[in-house]
Amino acid sequence: MAEVLLFHHALGLTEGVAAFAGELRRSGHTVHTPDLYEGRTFTDLEAGVGYAQEVGFDTLLERGVQAAGELPEEIVYAGFSLGVLPAQKLAQTRRGALGAVLLSACVPADAFGTAWPKGVPAQVHGMDADPYFVDEGDLDAARALVAGSEDRRLFLYPGTAHLFAERGTPSHVPEATALCVERVLCFLSGLKR
């Protein structure tokens, strides 16, 4: 079974993030869900992004790196939207990464001063008409990340929801979430240590 460090999105460490982590735990995986917002949660995406800007993205990245520092090197990094930043940074820069799962976001690999490391598989999941994912460059970054690779995959789901896997919100898309969880579980079970 895999050990996963799962970072939350701009709404904070919500019940939806906990539910997704619970799905992975029920299959026997160990999942850590650090709270980068130190207890704050939001119901509105713009308010959550505003809080992230107030705290500072560099501060949130540093909190993510600190959370990883207490865990083994051989781990899978995962994140939802804003949480993709620390997940992707750690997958690319921390030695021993087993893989990455990037949900509703992806940044260009060179944003962290290095190419994607060889032998580190990844999955990127997003909705094909999500304005944040499509119009802000994440889809292009995801396509570049998976281009020519057999161990990195992009999965697109039909729809416009950004946080499609966030249970209990209007943006939740149950069918896409179920398929995403199934694909993530398959990914985790196939990792080589």
The angle that helices 45-55 and 57-69 make with each other, rounded to 10 degrees, is 80
Tell which CATH classification among 3.10.400.10, 3.40.190.10, 1.10.287.3510, 3.40.50.1820 matches the domain 3-189: 3.40.50.1820
The residue type at 120: V
The full set of domain ranges for the chain reads: 3-189
Burial class (CB in 10 A: 0-12, 13-18, 19+), 39: exposed
Please report, for residues 66, 113, 170, 172, the alpha-carbon distance to residue 152 in angstroms, rounded to integers and kept in the order given.
Answer: 26, 19, 30, 25
Per residue in 150-187, pLDDT (tens digit) is: 999 999 999 999 999 999 889 999 999 999 999 999 99
Tell me what the pLDDT averaged over the chain comes to: 96
Per residue in 129-138, pLDDT (tens digit) is: 999 999 999 9
